[in-house]
A and B are shown apart, each in its own frame.
Chain A
Amino acid sequence: MASAVGVIFSNIHDEDIPELSRHRTMGSIPFGGRYRLIDFTLSNMVNSGITTVGLVTKHNYQSLLDHIGSGKDWDLARKDGGVILLAPYSDETDTPYTNRLEALKGITGFLTRRKEDYVVISDCDCVARLDIADIIRFHEEKQADITMVYHKGKVPMSSYYITLSPDETGRVQGMQITPKTDEDVDLYINIMVLKREFLLNIIRDAITRGLSSFGRDVLSHNLKSMRVFGYFFGGYYAGMDSLQTYYRKNMELLDKDVRDALFGARDIYTKVRDSAPSKYLDGAKVKDSLISDGCVIEGTVERCILFRGVRVGKGTVLKNSIVMQDTVIGANAELDCVITDKNVVIRDNMRLAGCESLPYFVMKGRML
């Protein structure tokens, strides 16, 4: 593979799931029992041979820092490159970036110093197993200036997204920004490949011309002069646009095909916590659930995702729920369609219920 450097936006779409991103970046939102959203993008990059990844952050990034550490769990603790946190840079006259173009402007120093041929730019909420090396091969084959990855599906609930109209060769002829439609569309999943020098030129040009939107001013206005191609990704993809989607996409992991699509063949790396294996005590009844390490289960658990270190007490019935790290649920409680954030305590005999379209959410650290 031609050499490439990764750039991940860790705060993008924060406003889509305010419940979960109040105290953290989108990238560090827990997902699938033992992962954070960013693990999927990072692992895709590492598995494709990328050894340098810049994480663009803006605010609330303590949890991300804590998660990533030195990067060793992704094999990204390197002398040259590795994972590099690109915290917002601002001097007295500047304020931290407000859009993608300004964010890129803030990391031109990083991009200039790197020596890789290509840049892979990705959002942090792309849960999929993508072969980035294959995207770069496609990019070279098409002699593209920019390759944008898309999949077929409904438009998300987000306030900003891009749909593409590629022709039969894959060249993007049209681009729409946040169109409203119920039809299936070719939705750009916010992963882009381009030459590093080309990106630097785009950024410099945008600065001199005072442009503000990467999607509108840089991409969609220049489809004639630039060779922009769409790379179709037909595998399993989950983007995050709301708490409901978050809930549904977690629950989809109970389907073996989805698990195989995401976890099979290639490893998804995450922070290691050295938890003990989970224990199922006498009287535990567990069905159709994903259970992470460090859990101790005495009650009934059906159709749930349990993160690390969760305790479920005797006589408790837990159904259709997502229970995050170190949540303790007492005895004889009943929970249905509940999402608890980290370190929640649910006392004995408590009853909580939401519904699939509106799961009941319990904030981090709450005691109920």
Chain B
Amino acid sequence: MQRKKECVAMLLAGGQGSRLYALTNNIAKPAVAFGAKYRIIDFPLSNCINSGIDTVGVLTQYQPLELNEYIGNGQPWDLDRAFGGVHILSPYQGKKKSSWYEGTANAIYQNMRFMKRYNPDYVLILSGDHIYRMDYAAMLKAHKETGADCTIAAIEVPMKEASRFGILNTNPDGSIYEFEEKPKQPKSNLASMGIYIFTASKLFKYLEEDEANPDSSKDFGKDVLPAMLNAGEKMYSYLFKGYWKDVGTISALWEANMDLLGEKPVFDVGDSGWKIHSRNPLAPPEYIGDEAVVDNSMIALGCEIEGTVINSVLASNVVVEAGAVVKDSVIMAGTVIKAGAKVSYSIIDENVVVEDGACVGTDKEVKNAQIAVLGRQITIGSGAVVEGGKILDKDYKGE
């Protein structure tokens, strides 16, 4: 008997993440740090293993070094398997031609051989830029029950925001009769989450056809899905209720971090029924000092806090010296906030030094504050002022 996997997941992690600016200068978006100890890709990977899917292809092409190193052999997610497990799929040179991934559909098409190795009945397509907990097994069950060729996960969004999304128009039984990509006048508020389950044979057929079509932009949303619908294939929506956040922009990334805070957080990352796995920092417990004030915050291992931290998310080995104040901010691993410095409404990447007395971000409590962003490994000079909304990726000594 040929060994097989019922369902193989393909995770599109090639996103450049250009709207995250300095945060994705050197790393792919799925490798961006989130929630004090996680990276964005921990969420889809953990969802996979928690849903019983143990074969995952991760498609990368933009700045893959850090992402590849992070995923490694997949052991932190229990995805180091003799048959299956997690595999990094980079574009490669073929005998006839070599090509970068051109669109989402082309990226999957180029890895047809990888999928076929597992002889799957179903293929799950995921993207690497969302924060959410989801049971893909329940979605697969629905896919089988409806006998669909393709099932698309969808979430209800506020009607006034619907024109920013790919909208699914469905019949009462959930079957889809129309797609509308960012419609001006949306007919429904059911937005596609970019999560698809295909019956494998259908996926392979339509990928071949799409590849042969010179006019196609080789994208799932724009080309493959409409082609299937036009051909009369059975397509269903799968309604997801729960937290789901696209963290593709600075403000969304900041908000998603803030959603973790509080006694009843918008998104509870500590909910142990569905553990989010990650690589863990090798660090001692965090130390909160004599004069420290820590309020409504999340703090990871290895931090040394002597100053004030309010409404903030601090990753491992962050130092906040005495007299420094960090408010409403996201601070990534290894960053040092020196004595008397003030940081508010900011996202500060790894290993940044904010020298004493420097001031980063607006300290006015305004709605939709413009988030200041400091890229990794830079130094903000003593007494320098970085205004709200500024994005820096080089050392800054002030005016």
Contacts of A267 in B (CB 8 A): 282
Q: Indicate whether B286 reaches chain A with its CB closer than 8 angstroms.
A: yes
Q: Indicate whether A263 reaches chain B with its CB closer than 8 angstroms.
A: yes
Query: How far, in angstroms, from A281 to B295 measured CA to CA in the complex?
Result: 6
Query: How far, in angstroms, from A281 to B268 measured CA to CA in the complex?
Result: 13
Q: Indicate whether B75 reaches chain A with its CB closer than 8 angstroms.
A: yes
Q: Cβ of A296 and Cβ of B270 under 8 Å apart?
A: yes
Contacts of A298 in B (CB 8 A): 263
Query: How far, in angstroms, from A287 to B315 measured CA to CA in the complex?
Result: 19
User: Per-residue CB proximity of B292-322 to A under 8 Å, as 1/0?
Assistant: 1011111111001000000001010000000
Query: How far, in angstroms, from A259 to B297 measured CA to CA in the complex?
Result: 23
Q: Cβ of B288 and Cβ of A277 under 8 Å apart?
A: no
User: Per-residue CB proximity of B216-250 to A under 8 Å, as 1/0?
Assistant: 00000000000000000000000000000000000
Q: Indicate whether B337 reaches chain A with its CB closer than 8 angstroms.
A: no
- Chain B residue with minimal CB distance to A266? B282
Q: Cβ of B285 and Cβ of A306 under 8 Å apart?
A: yes
Q: Indicate whether A82 reaches chain B with its CB closer than 8 angstroms.
A: no
Query: How far, in angstroms, from A32 to B287 measured CA to CA in the complex?
Result: 11
Q: Cβ of B277 and Cβ of A274 under 8 Å apart?
A: yes
Q: Cβ of A282 and Cβ of B287 under 8 Å apart?
A: no
Contacts of A291 in B (CB 8 A): 285-288, 299
Q: How large is the interface on A (under 10, 10 to 19, 20 to 34, 35 or more residues)?
A: 35 or more
Query: How far, in angstroms, from A259 to B303 measured CA to CA in the complex?
Result: 12
Q: How large is the interface on B (under 10, 10 to 19, 20 to 34, 35 or more residues)?
A: 35 or more
CB within 8 Å for A282 and B276 given contacts A34-B301, A277-B37, A291-B288? no
Q: Indicate whether A353 reaches chain B with its CB closer than 8 angstroms.
A: no
Q: Cβ of A277 and Cβ of B36 under 8 Å apart?
A: yes
Q: Cβ of B295 and Cβ of A282 under 8 Å apart?
A: yes
Q: Indicate whether B262 reaches chain A with its CB closer than 8 angstroms.
A: yes
CB within 8 Å for A280 and B277 given contacts A32-B284, A288-B288, A289-B287? no
CB within 8 Å for A292 and B287 given contacts A267-B282, A274-B276, A274-B280? no
Q: Indicate whether B8 reaches chain A with its CB closer than 8 angstroms.
A: no
Looking at the complex, which one of A72, A263, A280 makes contact with B297 (CB distance below 8 Å)?
A: A280
Query: How far, in angstroms, from A298 to B294 measured CA to CA in the complex?
Result: 11
Query: How far, in angstroms, from A32 to B302 measured CA to CA in the complex?
Result: 12
Q: Indicate whether B369 reaches chain A with its CB closer than 8 angstroms.
A: no
Q: Cβ of A276 and Cβ of B284 under 8 Å apart?
A: no
Tell me the smallest distance from the CB of B170 to a CB of chain A, in Å.
Answer: 36
- Chain A residue with minimal CB distance to B291? A287
Q: Indicate whether B289 reaches chain A with its CB closer than 8 angstroms.
A: yes
Q: Cβ of B298 and Cβ of A286 under 8 Å apart?
A: no
Q: Indicate whether B261 reaches chain A with its CB closer than 8 angstroms.
A: yes
Most chain B Cβ neighbours within 10 Å, of A293, A296, A298? A293
- Chain B residue with minimal CB distance to A283? B295
Q: Cβ of B296 and Cβ of A281 under 8 Å apart?
A: yes
Please classify the interface of chain B as helix (H, G, I), strand (E, B), loop, or mixed, using the class held by over half of its residues.
loop
CB within 8 Å for A269 and B301 given contacts A277-B35, A282-B262, A287-B288? no
Contacts of A280 in B (CB 8 A): 294-299
User: Per-residue CB proximity of B377-391 to A under 8 Å, as 1/0?
Assistant: 000000000000000
Contacts of A306 in B (CB 8 A): 285
Contacts of A286 in B (CB 8 A): 288, 292, 294
- Chain B residue with minimal CB distance to A272? B280
Tell me the smallest distance from the CB of A351 to a CB of chain B, in Å.
Answer: 24
Q: Indicate whether A55 reaches chain B with its CB closer than 8 angstroms.
A: no
Q: Cβ of A292 and Cβ of B301 under 8 Å apart?
A: yes
Q: Indicate whether A106 reaches chain B with its CB closer than 8 angstroms.
A: no
Contacts of A268 in B (CB 8 A): 282, 284
Q: Cβ of A288 and Cβ of B75 under 8 Å apart?
A: no
Q: Cβ of B301 and Cβ of A274 under 8 Å apart?
A: no
Contacts of A279 in B (CB 8 A): 261, 270, 297-298
Contacts of B290 in A (CB 8 A): 287-288
Q: Cβ of B37 and Cβ of A276 under 8 Å apart?
A: yes
Q: Indicate whether A133 reaches chain B with its CB closer than 8 angstroms.
A: no
Query: How far, in angstroms, from A72 to B80 measured CA to CA in the complex?
Result: 12
Q: Indicate whether B269 reaches chain A with its CB closer than 8 angstroms.
A: yes
Q: Indicate whether B335 reaches chain A with its CB closer than 8 angstroms.
A: no
- Chain A residue with minimal CB distance to B284? A263
Contacts of B35 in A (CB 8 A): 276-277
Which A78-106 residues sit within 8 Å CB-CB of chain B?
Answer: none
Q: Cβ of B287 and Cβ of A254 under 8 Å apart?
A: yes
Q: Indicate whether A294 reaches chain B with its CB closer than 8 angstroms.
A: yes
Most chain A Cβ neighbours within 10 Å, of B75, B285, B288? B285
Q: Cβ of B37 and Cβ of A34 under 8 Å apart?
A: no
Tell me the smallest distance from the CB of B260 to a CB of chain A, in Å.
Answer: 8
Query: How far, in angstroms, from A296 to B75 measured CA to CA in the complex?
Result: 27
- Chain A residue with minimal CB distance to B280? A272
Contacts of B299 in A (CB 8 A): 277-278, 280, 291
- Chain A residue with minimal CB distance to B305? A286
Contacts of B37 in A (CB 8 A): 276-277, 293
Contacts of B164 in A (CB 8 A): none
Contacts of A299 in B (CB 8 A): none
Contacts of A276 in B (CB 8 A): 35, 37, 269-270, 276
Q: Indicate whether A33 reaches chain B with its CB closer than 8 angstroms.
A: yes
- Chain A residue with minimal CB distance to B265? A279
- Chain A residue with minimal CB distance to B285? A33
Contacts of B289 in A (CB 8 A): 287-288
Which B55-87 residues sit within 8 Å CB-CB of chain A?
Answer: 75-76
Query: How far, in angstroms, from A275 to B285 measured CA to CA in the complex?
Result: 12
Tell me the smallest distance from the CB of A295 to a CB of chain B, in Å.
Answer: 9
Q: Cβ of A289 and Cβ of B280 under 8 Å apart?
A: no
Q: Indicate whether B278 reaches chain A with its CB closer than 8 angstroms.
A: yes
Which A233-263 residues sit within 8 Å CB-CB of chain B?
Answer: 253-254, 256, 259, 262-263
Q: Indicate whether B275 reaches chain A with its CB closer than 8 angstroms.
A: yes
Q: Indicate whether A290 reaches chain B with its CB closer than 8 angstroms.
A: yes
Query: A280-B295, A288-B288, A293-B37 are known contacts; what are 8 more A-B pairs with Cβ within 8 Å?
Result: A32-B284, A259-B287, A269-B282, A272-B76, A276-B35, A278-B299, A291-B287, A292-B301
Write 18 A-B pairs (CB below 8 A) sorted by A numbering.
Answer: A254-B287, A262-B284, A272-B280, A274-B276, A274-B280, A277-B35, A277-B301, A280-B298, A282-B262, A282-B263, A284-B294, A286-B288, A287-B290, A287-B292, A291-B286, A293-B37, A293-B300, A298-B263
8 residue pairs, one from A and one from B, having the closest CB atoms: A33-B285, A276-B270, A277-B36, A292-B285, A290-B285, A267-B282, A277-B300, A286-B288
